[in-house]
Amino acid sequence: MAPTIDASVIAAQRPDPWNGATASRGLVWYIAYGSNMRSSRLRYYLSGGRPPNGAKTFPGCRDRRGPERSIPVELRGKLYFALESDVWTGGRAFFDPDSAGVAWARGHLITSAQFSDILAQEMYRAPAGDLELVDWLARGRTQVGAGRDETIVCVGSVDGYPALTFTAPWRIEEITVTEPGAAYLENIAAGLLEAGAWERREIAAYLAGCPGAAGSWDEEQLMALIDA
């Protein structure tokens, strides 16, 4: 269960600029901003299996242990929805670190090998090996492939561990946003609630303002999803 962090002190959990900290025992923060914020969803990426009513079976990570801990974090940048999800239908979540705004996310402390395996599964590949993370951590960003989730961003560090996320290589302005589906939004909202830093109404307002959802989902519709 993730620790509850009061919203008034969440700024203390914003990742600091990476300053050369090393990941002791190979640990990194996997910064999830989509459905993997929810522990029950992340578990399928770690342990394998098909989620209830899911369209895909996940092979799981080579190391199937759960995160050592999970925390809510705020990222400088913006969450938006684009493309079409093969799993959820509707737009899928992406993070633009170069856009003005604040994106709400959840950090899971896992091994660098597990991070590599989660990224592979996001690209519908079976885990096959470890990404070489150390050489480019100080640069802050790299592309490990041309795919939609193969741009890795080091957003900073928390407690001495690098905080990593992955997203698309393009900016919001370079792509047409897409309306996300109800089941996907429900999972994202559940992950934010589980993180313990934001109230239901805050989460509804946040998601209603994200490009792709904005104009298609209003705050009351999202409150109904959350309450359901």
Per residue in 177-210, pLDDT (tens digit) is: 999 999 999 999 999 999 999 999 999 999 999 9
- How large a percentage of the chain has pLDDT more than 70? 85
CB neighbourhood size of 172 (10 A): 20
* Per-residue pLDDT, 172: 95
Taking a C-beta distance cutoff of 8 angstroms, is the pair 94, 161 a contact? no
Residue 4 has pLDDT above 50, yes or no: no
DSSP, collapsed to helix, strand or coil, labels residue 138 as: helix
Identity at 26, one-letter amino acid code = G
Domain ranges of the chain: 21-227
pLDDT-based confidence at residue 141 (cuts at 50, 70, 90): confident
Residue 176 has pLDDT above 60, yes or no: yes
Per residue in 96-108, pLDDT (tens digit) is: 999 999 999 999 9
pTM of the model: 0.89
Taking a C-beta distance cutoff of 8 angstroms, is the pair 144, 130 a contact? no
- Listed in sequence order, the residues at least 6 apart from 131 whose beta carbon sits closer than 8 Å to its beta carbon are 112, 115, 116, 119, 144, 152
For 21-227, which CATH class? alpha beta
* Per-residue pLDDT, 14: 56
**How do beta strands 161-167 and 70-76 pair?**
unpaired
Per residue in 10-55, pLDDT (tens digit) is: 444 556 555 554 444 589 999 999 999 999 999 999 999 988 766 7
pLDDT-based confidence at residue 6 (cuts at 50, 70, 90): very low
Taking a C-beta distance cutoff of 8 angstroms, is the pair 81, 153 a contact? no
* Per-residue pLDDT, 15: 61
* Class of residue 220 by CB neighbours under 10 A (exposed 0-12, middle 13-18, buried 19+): exposed
